[in-house]
Structure 1
Amino acid sequence: MDIRTLDYLIIFGFFSLVLFIGIYVSKKSGKNTSEYFLSGRRMPWWLLGFSMVATTFSTDTPNLVTDFVRTDGVSGNWGWWAFLLTGLLTVFVYAKLWRRSNVATDMEFYDLRYGGKPAHFLRGFRSLYLGVVFNVMAMSAVTLAAIKIGQIMLGLAPIETVLIGGTVTVIFSAIGGFRGVVYTDFILFFVAMAGAIGASVYLVNIPEVGGLSKVLENELVQQKMSILPDFSNKDALITLLIVPLAVQWWSAWYPGGEPGGGGYIAQRMLAAKNENHAIGATFFFNILHYALRPWPWILVALASLVVFPDLESIQTAFPDVEEGILRNDLAYSAMLTKLPSGLLGVVLASLGAAYMSTISTHLNWGSSYVVNDFYKQQINKNASERELVNVGRLSTVLLMVLSGFFALNLNNATQLFDIIIMFGAGTGLIFILRWFWWRINAWSEIVAMFASGIISIFFWQFEETLFLNEGAPFPSWSKFLLVVLLTTIIWIVVTYITKPEDNQTLYRFYETTKPGGPGWRKIRDDAVKEGVSLEEEGKRWTVPSGILAMLVGCVLVYGCLFATGNWIYGNYSLAIGLTALVLLAAWLLKIIWGRMKSVL
């Protein structure tokens, strides 16, 4: 790598700016936990939207997309594109409910929705389960990508990358709190996008590639460039398209794509000025996340097939790379080594931006669980605000240390993507229905959480016997569906054999969030009998309109995604038709949203 003084100046200048912002806002962020974790709930929609997008653009994202493209083709991205459905459902149905709840974290939701010891246990256990275990896994995937970039592009040993990147990120995250994270995310987004777009334009046109037309004419690329899987290949069609669109989006929990909203997306909705700002932030995020960002990464992945058609060619070009991390996702970093000075500095800074924006969010989000939902509830209920902020800063450091240690023992990002999807399989339906069906209780969630994990572990232990060997009783694509089916059956049975939440708890939840709908009819009727007022006169239930808006929104965003792809591929007739469809969908969505807004 020919990294020159200009590149180093760009990189260090960027890191210095990020640290300055963290230090600048540290005094205000350290006032209390509301400021440290939610910025006093005064954030505007556009700033929160940029923060969401910057967070989901991590160092492992282009690596993961590259892995999908090189392994299964562009259509392999449906594994995460399908989460647009749950993202838009959050926009038009759940965002306003989360903001009305006025909780500090989505874990605090459990003490609002449920009651008694089961709710208390669920809040405490899940705060560690998600805030520490799953959070560390997600951060480890991001750190693993940083390790690969550091080794390929800078010649750094894995431990050196972990120490350098982790130290800078943990300093500004710990002292700046949520405000520091959001402010830096705004800058990080533009730096990251500039690097991604600049890299894709340059790399497609290097002599080894020969320009976009040469890429699209390449035989290997033509096998991978279809946006939809081969319909004649049943296994690929089911695995890459049908399962994600029919089941995965509503049944699986995944950071940033939680059914019903949750995690750091919920944290940003809770930090919004009001309901409309929460809705605006999540819609803005989904448009940018799915419609704007994928194609620069996809183009580099396709170009990498021309330069590095297989793993052996990557190994030949980079003989010093450890064999344990030699996977298809390494091709993205390999392509970046061909950038010129100046642009290389911008791209390296953009990758640093992607790393820090994601890790800082996960650190602050995970720390909020540890402080608000574990330490304050289970350890010291009388802790002062100063003590809680200090615990938040300490837990931020510990989460970074754990994720760095775990990352040093991983091979590729797809491993953790699959693990997280499987361990959350079957729980998503609860997160969707608990707002609109009074009968779901704390035991429903507790049992679903454990059942999903135990069944996933069992299937992994006997994967070859059950799914992979010749003569196995189940096809390989059915593993996820079986986890969802069995987990769902178990939690529904448990829901009916355990006692429902008491009416006072359900009245309090309904009065706070106003979910409405037929699933709460019994509770509303009980309230009338007891002389309790729950309904707001003249308010219409907006969920049917919200679902319609979600569907139209999906046409709009997927239309943008496909239109962009076809413009790039040179399929101009189809691109024009899709662009017209996008404009029609935007017009319809404006009408639907106007009607919804009038009754919010």
Structure 2
Amino acid sequence: MNWQIEDAAVLIIYVLIIVFLSVKFKAKHWEEVFISRKKLQWWIAGASILMFWWNPANDMMMMGILIEEGYVGSWLVHNKLIAVGIAPIIFAPLWARLKFVSDNHFILFRFSGVGAKVLHQFRALYVGYVVVVFLSSFGIIGMSKMLITVFDLSYENSLLISFSILALYLLKNTFKQKVRTDILHAFIYLATLVITCMFIFNEFGGFGGILSDLKQNYENQIKLVPESTSFGEDGMLSTFLVFVLVQWWSTNVLDSSSPEAQRYMSTGNSREAFMAAFFPVIVGVFIMFFVSLIQDTLMLSYLKQDSMPDSESWYIEGTLSYLPSGFRMLALIAFMAGFITTIEAFINWGASFLVDYYRTYVKKVESVNYQKISYMSMYLILSSAILVVIFNDSLLSLQKLIFSISAGVGPVFVLRWFWWRVNAWAQLSAMFSSLFFALSFDLAYENSLVFQTFIDDISGMMSIGYFPLKLVVLTILVTFSWITVMYMTPADDTAILKRFVKQVQPGGIWPKHWQSGAVKLSKKLFLAILYAIINILPIFFIWEFKYGVWWKAVGLLTLFFILIVYILRRIKT
């Protein structure tokens, strides 16, 4: 692509603003690398969570899914919206009552004995390093594909440049600087979406013609749910049911034990944490709407051309091709900012685990320069992620791997807050067995003809694909494993449990005289169900707006706002 002087001017302005924010909000204490020591306003935390959610790599992966499988395949990603409401209603207020440098320290606060120490060390190294390396690799793949598309680089050179850019950004990757930089990135991203839509629709003569063309010529591509009432040979209904009935609770860490927890713990109180979690959902509808329109346009243009470029990279390539100079650089910065924001968040979060491990088990003295150790940990994660990306360049395959090694762990992360019987050995067995069974399943399928034939026969009989079948099997095995281990091992120390309940007041299944806040939890569960409906409604609203009946779209949008108002009036944190 040809770059003009306007593009250079936009880039220079952006770099100067980043330098200013980095100098102004420089961390003065090592703990500020990972958490805010002062109260973080809800709208700042919310904007940071928003940018963490909207990673362009997800949009690129979705672009590939839409082109290859159509809207039905998108439920691999959209199913997690069912669980999004659990965090604002239930867990964000609970995290706000805790003030840990790393959310991994929650383990030593909630559990007791040898099991707590073993779990704390295992999760610090496994999640803080191994899992975070894979999560960071996901964003780096998207970032590298963007550089290949824009600058016609080789894959190796794109990785080298990606590493160099991220290495420079890590020099400012403290929590205090990052959340404020995220505000700038959120503004750039939202503005870019609107501007991109304007130029793309102008190029195609309005979105009405685009949608009409898709409806007439690519009807199968835009089906939101399988129309067949039977499983059929294509297995789409079976796959759809696994995604919406199993995957959302099985493969996701539902209690926000993620970079989101850092932001919730940095807010002033439970109400602020709720608002920080609620803000991205409202703005997310706006983003989802415009991204969907852009993706539909790009899908149409891709399907009509003779050449077949990389379907995931097409989201970047197609978008930039319709923008004039100046705005093209703005879009490139928006994409770059989205990648960097998410990668930074994961690396910072993972490094907090490693530093917490180092302080707890290696060197506990305060004379150690923990800020230096923090940055060394971040560079270790980044370097390892680059090595992973060298051997894998598919966003979808990496995402499926991440889902596989977390299958079945979701329930135990939720129940540990609300059920006294869940102990450290239960969580440890869930995490370890998920990893073990996921790797064993793939190895057995690839190397054992007997096992491969058995799985293929079940797939054919149930009309279900390999990946969704694997998710179901892993979920059953992991659930059986952690429940068995839980009842074979002793419960946690009563004093530790009482301390947890007294400070957090989570509600749930505790001895009656502990005053655990059980009444609040029952009300919040009802609101969480409504919130799940709120998060799913925009998908159907946007689809009805584009391809369905207008009055259904209006009705869904009206219901969306009614439920939001109801929740805001009823929520008490």
Q: Structure 2 length as normaliser, TM-score?
A: 0.91
Residues 245-301 of structure 1 deviation map (CA, whole Å, 9 limit, x = unaligned): 222222213xxxx21221101111111111111111112123333x23233333333
Classify 1:559/1:375 alpha carbon distance in 2 versus 1 (closer, same or farther; 3 Å).
same
Classify 1:211/1:589 alpha carbon distance in 2 versus 1 (closer, same or farther; 3 Å).
closer
Alignment match of 2:68 (pick from 66, 71, 86)? 71
Alignment match of 1:465 (pick from 407, 430, 453)? 453
Cα deviation, residue 313, structure 1: 1.7
Residue 249 in structure 1 maps to residue 248 in structure 2:
yes
Q: Which amino acid aligns with 2:272?
A: H
Alignment match of 2:359 (pick from 370, 376, 380)? 376
Q: Which amino acid aligns with 1:281?
A: A
Cα deviation, residue 312, structure 1: 6.4
Alignment match, 2:261:
266
Whether the 8 Å contact between 2:110 and 2:497 is mirrored in structure 1 is yes
Alignment match, 1:203:
200
Alignment match of 2:308 (pick from 282, 304, 314)? 314
Alignment match, 2:274:
279
Q: Which amino acid aligns with 2:3?
A: I
Alignment match, 1:580:
558
Whether the 8 Å contact between 1:314 and 1:331 is mirrored in structure 2 is no
Residues 332-358 of structure 1 deviation map (CA, whole Å, 9 limit, x = unaligned): 123134222222111111111111211
SS at match of 1:425: coil
Whether the 8 Å contact between 1:22 and 1:172 is mirrored in structure 2 is no
CA distance in 1, matches of 2:305, 2:360: 50
Alignment match, 1:543:
521
Cα deviation, residue 473, structure 1: 7.1
CA distance in 2, matches of 1:206, 1:466: 52
Alignment match, 1:22:
22
Residue 357 in structure 1 maps to residue 337 in structure 2:
no
Cα deviation, residue 213, structure 1: 1.6
Cα deviation, residue 469, structure 1: 6.3
Residues 131-182 of structure 1 deviation map (CA, whole Å, 9 limit, x = unaligned): 2111111111111111111111122333443343433443343335001110
Alignment match, 2:46:
49
Structure 1, gaps ≥5 residues long: 316-325, 526-533
Residue 293 in structure 1 maps to residue 287 in structure 2:
yes
Alignment match, 2:494:
503
Alignment match, 1:409:
391
Alignment match, 2:13:
13
Classify 1:61/1:12 alpha carbon distance in 2 versus 1 (closer, same or farther; 3 Å).
farther
Alignment match, 1:2:
2
Structure 2, gaps ≥5 residues long: 446-451
SS at match of 1:520: coil
Q: Which amino acid aligns with 1:360?
A: E
Whether the 8 Å contact between 2:541 and 2:557 is mirrored in structure 1 is yes
Alignment match, 2:381:
399
Cα deviation, residue 570, structure 1: 6.5
Alignment match, 2:297:
303
Q: Which amino acid aligns with 1:245?
A: V
Q: Which amino acid aligns with 1:512?
A: Q
Alignment match, 1:387:
369
Q: How does 1:118-517 map to 2 (within 5 A)?
A: 118-207=115-204, 211-218=207-214, 219-232=216-229, 234=231, 235-240=235-240, 242-253=241-252, 258-289=253-284, 291-309=285-303, 313-315=307-309, 326=310, 328-339=311-322, 340-372=324-356, 374-384=357-367, 387-463=369-445, 464-468=452-456, 475-476=464-465, 477-517=468-508
Cα deviation, residue 66, structure 1: 0.4
What RMSD in Å do the two structures reach over aligned CA positions? 2.4
Whether the 8 Å contact between 1:466 and 1:473 is mirrored in structure 2 is no
Bigger drift between 184-193 and 98-107 goes to 98-107
Classify 1:300/1:542 alpha carbon distance in 2 versus 1 (closer, same or farther; 3 Å).
same
State, as a whole percentage, how many aligned pairs show the same letter: 23
Classify 1:74/1:40 alpha carbon distance in 2 versus 1 (closer, same or farther; 3 Å).
same
Classify 1:312/1:214 alpha carbon distance in 2 versus 1 (closer, same or farther; 3 Å).
closer
Classify 1:312/1:193 alpha carbon distance in 2 versus 1 (closer, same or farther; 3 Å).
same
CA distance in 2, matches of 1:342, 1:111: 51
Alignment match, 1:528:
none
Residues 452-490 of structure 1 deviation map (CA, whole Å, 9 limit, x = unaligned): 111111221234434346986764332211100111011
Alignment match, 2:107:
110
Cα deviation, residue 63, structure 1: 0.4
Q: How does 1:561-600 map to 2 (within 5 A)?
A: 561-569=539-547, 571-593=549-571, 597=572, 600=573
SS at match of 1:108: helix
Cα deviation, residue 122, structure 1: 1.1
How many residue pairs were aligned? Answer: 559
Cα deviation, residue 491, structure 1: 0.8
Q: Which amino acid aligns with 1:347?
A: A
Residues 49-106 of structure 1 deviation map (CA, whole Å, 9 limit, x = unaligned): 1101111222312201102211222233322322223221121112222222333222
Alignment match, 2:97:
100
Classify 1:232/1:540 alpha carbon distance in 2 versus 1 (closer, same or farther; 3 Å).
closer
CA distance in 1, matches of 2:494, 2:420: 10
CA distance in 2, matches of 1:591, 1:16: 43
CA distance in 2, matches of 1:233, 1:182: 48
Alignment match, 1:321:
none
Q: Which amino acid aligns with 1:400?
A: L
CA distance in 2, matches of 1:145, 1:59: 7
SS at match of 1:551: helix
Whether the 8 Å contact between 1:204 and 1:215 is mirrored in structure 2 is no
Whether the 8 Å contact between 1:57 and 1:354 is mirrored in structure 2 is yes
Q: Which amino acid aligns with 1:135?
A: V
Q: Which amino acid aligns with 1:376?
A: R
Alignment match, 2:29:
31
Cα deviation, residue 579, structure 1: 2.0
Q: Structure 1 length as normaliser, TM-score?
A: 0.87
CA distance in 2, matches of 1:389, 1:292: 38
